Amino acid sequence: MVSERDGISGADRCRCVADARLDELEQSSQVPRNYRNASFDSFDALDPVYGAALQGAMLQIKGYANNYPVTEKPGLLIVGPPGTGKTHLAVAALRQLLARGHEAVFFDYLNLLDRIRSSYNEALGASNREAYRTALETEILLLDDLGAHRVTDWVQDTVTSIVTHRCNHKQALIATSNLSDPKIGGSPDYRIMLEDRIGERARSRLFEMCLVVRMPGAPDYREKRSVIR
């Protein structure tokens, strides 16, 4: 598009080009359909008991997205009980970064491990073989439900490889987890800790590279959203 300023003609980038680029980034991000419209504005933090804490957690996560890229702590770890809105807020941050032109990919932790494991089967095609490479190299990786897999040596080695690579190269990792850790507190009834599922080395790298945001033990966010007001 040609415009004129102070008598000088010049070419401005058409808005449709930016919109097309955003569409391309959103499609390649693999965000599940259920979260395609997740945003900070649509997050309900009005719980009568935990409202202030939920609002505080949201503001921390929003601040991370606003200030990205962050060199000292390039990652974000959101922890808390199931149904407290961790995935919603993680995707809200991811979508805000996509809108700014950054490349990002969403992976469910279990699905990523299954795809990497199946990549050893040559008959399953290139898409599965690319999953591991994408997890290593994409600018921003979102791992949802980190640690939601029974622990094996292979699982620990795989997640350690991904986390360590991204930590060493200062690449952003946004992760959510229901598991607890002595460093962040949590219910004393938790019998499975984060380290138990991802290993000591991955856990150490994770805390080295991530801003940690703890969600309060609010009632299930999914049930709240299903109530007709």
Strand partners, 171: none
Asked if residue 19 belongs to a domain, the reply is: no
Distance of CA 134 to the CA centre of its chain: 14
- Structural tokens at position 1: 């598009």
Identity of the amino acid at 33:
R
Q: What is the dihedral of CA 93, 97, 99, 102, to 10 degrees?
A: -150
- pLDDT at residue number 226: 42
Give CA–CA dist 89/57, Å, rounded.
9
User: Is 0.85 surpassed by the pTM of this model?
Assistant: no
Asked if residue 12 belongs to a domain, the reply is: no
- Determine the structural domain holding residue 107 and report its residue range: 35-225
The CATH number assigned to the domain holding 147 equals: 3.40.50.300
Asked if residue 15 belongs to a domain, the reply is: no
- pLDDT at residue number 25: 75
Asked if residue 8 belongs to a domain, the reply is: no
Asked if residue 13 belongs to a domain, the reply is: no
Contacts of 198 (CB under 8 A, 6+ apart): 146, 147, 155, 156, 159, 160, 163, 206
Asked if residue 18 belongs to a domain, the reply is: no
Average pLDDT per block of 10 residues along the chain, 229 residues long: 56 62 78 93 83 93 95 92 93 96 96 86 60 94 93 91 96 94 64 88 95 82 46
- pLDDT at residue number 229: 29
H helices of 68-169, in order, are: 86-99, 109-118, 126-137, 153-168
Asked if residue 3 belongs to a domain, the reply is: no
Residue whose token pair is 């490479």: 133
**What is the tally of structural domains in the chain?**
1
The sheet carrying 104-108 orders its strands as 104-108, 140-144, 172-177, 75-79, 210-214
Contacts of 91 (CB under 8 A, 6+ apart): 31, 35, 38, 106, 142
Asked if residue 89 belongs to a domain, the reply is: yes
Is residue 107 within 8 Å of residue 33, measured between CB atoms?
A: no
- pLDDT at residue number 118: 83
